[in-house]
């Protein structure tokens, strides 16, 4: 009778674990599975784990299979959760074998990424600073953009996961932190674009422009953006099922402003967008889709958005 670890070891295939089966992590796990990688999925929500296993995800606890992993993809909310998964009481890094790789995908400060890389490297584990962009749909199709930095050995070790989950991999240097710095730039723009979309859409309503007409016209004009085209339809349908939550933006834009402060850089537009997301969270909308920031503008202007009574 073989143990679980013996059975897994005998398969001889590339084995990865995706920790964090939210909207992005679940898509990454699905893409890895579709690419033929033996893929384990873990999350604090047991139903997500069971759902993934029902689709073909591998079984076994993280503690049981950690020593057999070629890669662990960490797609949690923030730096604190990333550190806990890697080095907490049940941290995965001390259990992984030398030469395996961590792909750290959360939006975190560059200094944090460098610290995690140093701690992983000290144990013979490669670390790829690998923030992601593209949304849940692209994650499920293996079409993410990855802003990655790390040693060539880290890139090589992570290549099967990158090939499975990403359409574009930007190799931003050999030192961790460069990927997180680029992700901060992206998040500055993305957060501002969402808030500005909400401002423009509700401004249009005050001028008699219905939200659906706003989307039809502006998405074909110079004022459009990827975020406008992706998020404004949520407002039109009144569907705020969270694909990306309001609560993400106080964290991400807060990281941007912390980095800006350390660089003595003024970022007033980012600060203004952050205040709108904080207002949305204060209204109890933190768990809704981030397009719900439009409700802040609607409330202040006395407007009724689609789907609202």
pLDDT in tens, 135-170: 888 999 999 999 999 999 999 999 999 999 999 999
Per DSSP, the three-state class of 134 is coil
CA angle 282, 285, 287 (to 5 degrees): 120
Q: What pLDDT, on the 0 to 100 scale, is given for residue 5?
A: 47
Which residues make beta-bridge pairs with 40? 17, 58
Residue with tokens 């004022």: 223
What's the CATH architecture for 180-301? Orthogonal Bundle (1.10)
Quote the pLDDT of residue 281: 98
Express each pLDDT in 15-38 by its tens digit. 999 999 998 999 999 999 999 999
Is residue 46 packed enough to be buried (19+ CB in 10 Å), middle (13-18) or exposed (0-12)? exposed
Q: What confidence tens digit (pLDDT) does each residue in 167-200 have?
A: 999 999 999 999 999 999 999 999 999 999 999 9
pLDDT tens per residue across span 252-300: 999 999 999 999 999 999 999 999 999 999 999 999 999 999 999 999 9
Instruction: Please identify every residue annotated as catalytic.
Output: 183
DSSP 257-274: HHHHHHTT---HHHHHHH
**Residue range 79-99: mean pLDDT, rounded:** 97
Mean of pLDDT over the chain: 95
CATH top-level class of 4-175: alpha beta
pLDDT at 309 over 90: no
Extents of the domains making up the chain: 4-175, 180-301
Cut 0.85: pTM above it: yes
Q: Is the pLDDT of residue 55 over 80?
A: yes
What would the pLDDT profile of 225-255 be if each residue is shown by its tens digit?
999 999 999 999 999 999 899 999 999 999 9
180-301 matches 4-175 in CATH topology = no
């Amino acid at each position: 009778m073989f143990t679980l670890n013996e059975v897994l070891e005998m398969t001889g295939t590339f084995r990865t674990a995706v920790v964090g089966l939210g909207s992005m992590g679940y898509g990454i796990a699905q893409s890895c599975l579709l690419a033929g990688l033996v893929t384990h999925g873990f999350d604090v929500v047991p139903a997500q784990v069971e759902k993934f296993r029902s689709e073909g995800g591998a079984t076994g606890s993280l503690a049981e299979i950690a020593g057999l992993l070629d890669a662990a993809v960490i797609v949690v909310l923030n730096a604190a959760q990333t550190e806990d998964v890697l080095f907490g009481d049940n941290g995965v890094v001390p259990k992984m074998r030398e030469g395996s790789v961590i792909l750290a995908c959360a939006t975190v400060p560059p200094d944090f990424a460098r610290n995690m890389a140093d701690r992983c490297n000290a144990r013979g584990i490669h670390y790829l600073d690998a923030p992601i962009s593209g949304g849940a749909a692209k994650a499920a199709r293996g079409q993410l953009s990855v802003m990655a930095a790390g040693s060539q050995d880290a890139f090589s070790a992570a290549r099967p996961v990158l090939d499975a989950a990403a359409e574009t991999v930007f190799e931003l240097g050999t030192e961790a932190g460069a990927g997180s710095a680029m992700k901060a730039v992206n998040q500055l723009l993305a957060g501002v674009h969402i808030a500005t979309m909400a401002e423009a859409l509700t401004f249009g309503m005050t001028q008699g422009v219905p939200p659906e007409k706003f989307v039809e016209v502006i998405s074909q004009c110079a004022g459009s953006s990827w975020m406008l085209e992706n998020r404004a339809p949520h407002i039109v349908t009144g569907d705020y099922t969270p694909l990306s939550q309001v609560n993400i933006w106080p964290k991400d834009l807060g990281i941007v402003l912390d980095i800006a402060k350390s660089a003595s850089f003024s970022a007033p537009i980012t600060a203004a967008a952050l205040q709108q997301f904080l207002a949305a969270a204060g209204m109890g909308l933190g768990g809704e889709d981030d397009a719900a920031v439009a409700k802040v503008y609607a409330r202040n202007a006395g407007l009724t958005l689609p789907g609202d009574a």
